[in-house]
Amino acid sequence: QALEEAQKAIQQLFGKIKDIKDKAEKSEQMVKEITRDIKQLDHAKRHLTTSITTLNHLHMLAGGVDSLEAMTRRRQYGEVANLLQGVVNVLEHFNKYMGIPQIRQLSERVKAAQNELGQQILADFEEAFPSQGTKRPGGPSNVLRDACLVANVLDPRIKQEIIKKFIKQHLSEYLVLFQENQDVAWLDKIDRRYAWIKRQLVDYEEKYGRMFPQEWYMTERIAVEFCHVTRAELAKIMRTRAKEIEVKLLLFAIQRTTNFEGLLAKRFSGCTLADGTVKKPEVPPPSTNPFLEDETGTETDEIVIEKSDMDKPKKPKVPDNPFHGIVSKCFEPHLYVYIESQDKNLGELIDRFVADFKAQGPPKPNVDEGGAVLPSCADLFVYYKKCMVQCSQLSTGEPMIALTTIFQKYLREYAWKILSGNLPKTTSSSGGLTITSLLKEKEGSEVAKFTLEELCLICSILSTAEYCLATTQQLEEKLKEKVDASLVERINLTGEMDTFSIVISNSIQLLVQDLDAACDPALTAMSKMQWQNVEHVGDQSPYVTSVILHIKQNVPIIRDNLASTRKYFTQFCIKFA
């Protein structure tokens, strides 16, 4: 009975659910009937709004085209600039309606008006700034200023044509004044070229600065075109008069030119040179390498080497001046004159070092301050640094490789002529001194010892070779930073560093041989000792006293003179032991 009641309750529940479902379907149908009319009204409203908007645009377009044609004839460029942009924007709305004849006709009228405007503006500029003759009429007019605003809206070629013609006309006087056959065209009067353009840019700013829109960068464009023209003109005249180019003249011209390029970099962003995007230069971290001290230094700069410098980080390349090489590139084919001059100068410098060493003699012993580094090596590297900085400002290409080859040549010459060439000569055979060979000599023979001055000289040459080795390593690093990335692999001063290492090794060997030779007579006496004749035991044998005496005489002198290069004093001790 309970089960039957439950079944009846379920049936009743199903019946109620079905009723609710039926009512819901009826309600939905009713809503659809109600909203059908509302949807129709919505569609009608949207179409009506679109039609009204399009008709308004059509009215604006038709009126705008008529006004545009009328204003163009009256040269009302100020109004045209704003109106033309509006007409072009409105015309974009009708791109999908170009199949309609009336719309297509309006579009063609706009294009015709644009073409007419372009030709008319070019004609106005030609009239105001005639390309024939160098005489310019008075200052700019408001008409031309407004015409530039119109040109911004027109085909970019119109703007480019205006810029090109104006700059060409502006620089026409320059080409006449500095013709190849003129006296002022040669390198010794290169300053006058840069003075001329500075005056012209000031003149332009005063007369025409407000005529052209700022975003045209006209001042920079004039300067850049001047640079291109100057580079071509200088290259041409230098090819013609190549035999007249001397080093001083070439360096003078390059210095003045790079100064001018630096001035341009301070004044302009360089956005007209390439794609118009200019990155702000990153500020490099402070320098820690002694070869990276202020590169504007003079010949009196000194390069100070510290042993910890090898572990310090390298300075990254300073971002390039966007105008670097824009004119000075023309001097690169003639830099062989500079390289040959440096070859000659360095040859004379080495000869002077040799002569000075002979005239002044070896450095005086100075046991208080340690072995002195020969002053000539600091002079050599200061000169190297000056040459490297100068050459890198001229070119970072093949001339830097040529200069590196010259550097290598004279590093080797310095090592052999100044360092190895002045090491005191030993009286031993080329095989070197050994205990065995000395014991074979006749009893009582004395091997010539080095004097105090000669010992100090050997220590001084050793210290100098170490200085040269460390500085050559830094020179190589600096050259690699200066040169183009594609040429880095061609810079290798390992051979020269090995040469200085050989000088160091030879110096240590000489010191060891000298001490060997000093101790030898005592050791010979020991080997000849008649032990069977010794009756009483003494405190210390005479030969031991003699050896100790020689070591006490030599080693402190060597130690004090190698105070600045402790590791090589240690090497000397180990080799002697």
Burial class (CB in 10 A: 0-12, 13-18, 19+), 354: middle
Query: What is the reported pLDDT for 309?
Result: 41
CA 501/CA 472 separation, integer angstroms: 11
CA 522/CA 545 separation, integer angstroms: 9
Q: Is residue 147 over pLDDT 60?
A: yes
Domain ranges of the chain: 25-130+140-154, 365-424+449-530+539-576
Q: Average pLDDT, stretch 94-112?
A: 80
Nearest-5° Cα angle at 121, 119 to 125: 115
Q: Higher model confidence: residue 172 or residue 135? A: 172
Q: Is residue 450 over pLDDT 60?
A: yes
370 pLDDT band, cuts 50/70/90, is very low
pLDDT in tens, 16-58: 999 999 999 999 988 888 888 888 888 899 999 988 888 887 8
pLDDT in tens, 499-525: 999 999 999 999 999 888 888 888 888
Query: What is the reported pLDDT for 2?
Result: 94
Query: What is the reported pLDDT for 316?
Result: 39
Nearest to 402 by CA among 393, 412, 391: 391
Q: Is residue 308 over pLDDT 60?
A: no
Residue 419 is given by DSSP the state: I
Query: What is the reported pLDDT for 416?
Result: 92
Percent of the chain with pLDDT over 70: 84
Nearest to 382 by CA among 457, 302, 460: 302
Query: What is the reported pLDDT for 108?
Result: 83
Q: Higher model confidence: residue 438 or residue 130? A: 130
pLDDT in tens, 387-443: 888 888 778 888 889 999 999 999 999 999 989 888 888 655 434 444 444 444 434
292 pLDDT band, cuts 50/70/90, is very low
187 pLDDT band, cuts 50/70/90, is confident
CA 525/CA 43 separation, integer angstroms: 128
Nearest to 68 by CA among 120, 17, 18, 110: 110
Neighbours of 471 (CB within 10 A): 24
Query: What is the reported pLDDT for 532?
Result: 83
Residues 6+ apart with CB under 8 A from 476: 491, 492, 493
Nearest-5° Cα angle at 195, 190 to 200: 130
Q: Which range has highest mean pLDDT (140-154, 417-431, 480-494)?
A: 480-494
Burial class (CB in 10 A: 0-12, 13-18, 19+), 122: middle
Nearest-5° Cα angle at 503, 502 to 505: 60
CA 5/CA 9 separation, integer angstroms: 6
Average pLDDT value for the chain: 79
Two structure tokens written together for 347: 């040859």
Q: Is residue 445 over pLDDT 60?
A: no
Q: Are 475 and 291 in contact (CB under 8 A)?
A: yes
H or E element, residue 372: none
Please give the model's pTM, rounded to 2 decimal places. 0.61
Q: Average pLDDT, stretch 434-460?
A: 64
Nearest to 118 by CA among 151, 152, 72: 151
Q: Is residue 113 over pLDDT 90?
A: no
